[in-house]
A and B are shown apart, each in its own frame.
Chain A
């Protein structure tokens, strides 16, 4: 399977706990994006990487959120001290090359439920 994979697909946690999501992009893709999507809304941009460099982070993203792509391959998104408002689908996407984004290849998402 050469698509974008995300793990876990579903995560239920209690408020205040930390959670981490992993994304494995398509192997030759330089760019990796994280989006968040709530029910009835479109994906909301969180952050993106060009290889291992984090080029932009949304101002909407609180300090509780951190993302890494240490070797320019897989990426992790960590949410510390989760709140009920963090409940959402977290989507990862990758694309080849640099410059303006073309087609984004999305994973199936990681659904987070904070109780």
Chain B
């Protein structure tokens, strides 16, 4: 089974709204990463947060990490139709990254 679990599995919002996705994991981590995947394509790295960090920003992205709860959230502000994709969290431990099953985000124009 995968290390991380994203919630919700699917999210549908209107353009301009904010989208929040959550990720829970089971074991200790060195860092947690978020990736985006458009249908039929490879994954693209969005942001990395280390285990000693609590919050990180990159453009319209905000990531939080709570190691005591073993959870992370990804917030996309002012969403656009082009943000429609699947979003995955990945936890790094023992030399490799382990992915969850993702949240499918649909942004309606």
Contacts and interface: CB of A to CB of B under 8 A. Distances in A.
A43 B43 contact: yes
Nearest to A106: B42
B2 A100 contact: no
Given A91-B43, A100-B92, A108-B42, 13 more contacts: A4-B42, A40-B101, A43-B99, A44-B99, A45-B98, A50-B95, A56-B95, A100-B31, A101-B95, A101-B97, A102-B31, A107-B42, A108-B41
Contacts of B100: 42
A109 B44 CA distance: 12
A44 B2 contact: yes
Interface string B74-109: 000000000000001010111111111110000000
Given A42-B100, A56-B95, A109 B42 contact: yes
Interface residues of B, number: 26
26 contacts: A4-B42, A33-B97, A35-B99, A41-B101, A42-B2, A42-B4, A42-B99, A43-B88, A44-B2, A44-B99, A45-B98, A48-B95, A48-B96, A56-B95, A91-B42, A93-B43, A100-B95, A101-B95, A102-B48, A104-B35, A104-B43, A104-B45, A106-B43, A107-B42, A108-B42, A109-B41
A68 B98 CA distance: 21
B33 interface: yes
